[in-house]
Amino acid sequence: MTAPHWRYILHADLDAFYASVEQRDNPDLKGKPVVVGGPPESRGVVAAASYEAREYGVRSAMPMGVALRLCPDLVRISARFSRYHEVSRQIMDIFRGLTPLIEPLSLDEAYLDISEKVSADEVDGVAHGLKTRVRDETGLAVTVGGGTSKTVAKIASQIAKPDGLLLIKPNEERAFLSPLDVDMLWGVGPRTESVLRDHGINTIGHLAACDNGWLQNTFGKRGHELKERALGTDHHPVTPHRETKSVSAEITMTHDVGDEAALRDRMEELAQGVAARLQRNGLKGRTGQVKLRLADFTTFTRQVTLQAPTDEAGVILPVAWDLLHRELRPGRRFRLVGVGVSNFNEAFQLALLPPD
C-alpha cells in the first residue's frame, strides 16, 4: 500500500460511445458520419455523434433535424440501450480490475481512484495499460485523464480527446489549469461564466487569483468551491455507487419574460438538452417537472406523472409546456424556467451502477 498522502485519480471517458458501439457492431458504418438518436419528426435529438459526423458540426443535444441539414449523408440509428448497457458493464468490469473505487458518471464515463493500488512511478504504465485493455477487449477507444483531483482528471481527459492520454503530475495542477478557458471548469455554467467575464476573469488562472471575499460576496458558498477547483486542490472523493436522482436544466433569463412564444422557445431548448442527457445516460423517467421563478423571486415547482417512462424531447416538451402554461397570468413575468425528469425506471437506473 502506498503512503497515505498520495492521491491520484483517473477520469476515463469512452469516445462517442453510442456511435462507436454501432460502428463496431456494424463494420459497414466505419468511417461514416453516424448519429444515435430519435427521428426528427418526433423532435428527436442527437444522443451521440461519431467523429466523422462532428466534422460537419453535428453535436450531442442538437435537434436531429438540424443535424440532418448539416450533414445530408448522416446515418441516423435509433438507440439500443440494452446493448449499450451490456458494453458498459464489460467496461466497468475492466475498471474494477484496476481499483474498486469507481464512480460511474454515465454508461461511458467514470472516475477511478487508484491511490491505494498504484505508486507515483507506476501511473503512466497503468493508464496506458487501461487504454490498451479496453481496446483489446471491447474494440473501443477510451480517453484517460489523470490528476490529484477529480477536477484536474476531468479537464485533462477533455483536452486529450479523442483516444488520448494526459496525466498531470502532482504539484503541476495550477500550471496546467491556469491558461485554460474558465468555462472548462466544472460549476461554471452560462450564468457564472457571464459574471466572471464581465469582471475580466477569462481563464482558470484569473479565477484562481480572485480575492476570496469577492468570490464569496458574488457566488456565496460556491465561491470557495470554484476557487478550490481553479487551484486544482478540490478534495471531493471518488464515490462508488453514485446514483442519479433526476436530470434537469434551467435558465435564468437576462430580463424577466412574460411573452408566451419566448417562454416556449426557452422550454424547447431545455427539453432538448434534458432529453439528450437522459439518452446519453441510458435513463428514462416517469415524472416530468418544471421549476419556475417569478420576477419577485417567488420560486416553485410543478410536476406530473407520465403514462410511461421517457427520454424523448417530443414527450418532455409538451408536458413541461403544459405545466408552465397553467401558471401564465396577465402581467406575470418569469425570471427563471427549468425542465426536469425524475423517477427513473429501475432497470435503467441500475445500469449506471456497478453490478453486485
With CA atoms as reference, report the closest residue to 255 among 264, 247, 263.
Answer: 263
Range list of β-strands (E), the chain: 9-14, 34-37, 46-49, 75-77, 102-106, 109-113, 142-147, 165-167, 246-257, 285-294, 299-310, 334-344
With CA atoms as reference, report the closest residue to 40 among 16, 79, 76, 81: 76
Q: Say if CB 289 and CB 302 are below 8 A apart.
A: yes
243 belongs to the catalytic site: no
Rounded Cα distance, 193 and 201, in Å: 9
Sheet with 9-14, edge to edge strand ranges: 102-106, 109-113, 9-14, 142-147, 165-167
Which amino acid does the sequence have at 186?
W
* Strands of 66-214, DSSP E: 75-77, 102-106, 109-113, 142-147, 165-167
Please name the residues in contact with 178: beta carbons below 8 A apart, sequence gap of 6 or more: 203, 204, 205, 208
Residues 332, 296: Cα–Cα separation, whole Å? 10
Q: What's the CA gap between 337 and 340, in Å, rounded? A: 10
Please identify which of the residues 52, 103, 109, 250 carries the catalytic annotation: 109
Residue 66 CA, chain-centre distance (Å), reads 21
In contact, 159 and 145? CB cutoff 8 Å: yes
**Residues carrying an active site annotation:** 109
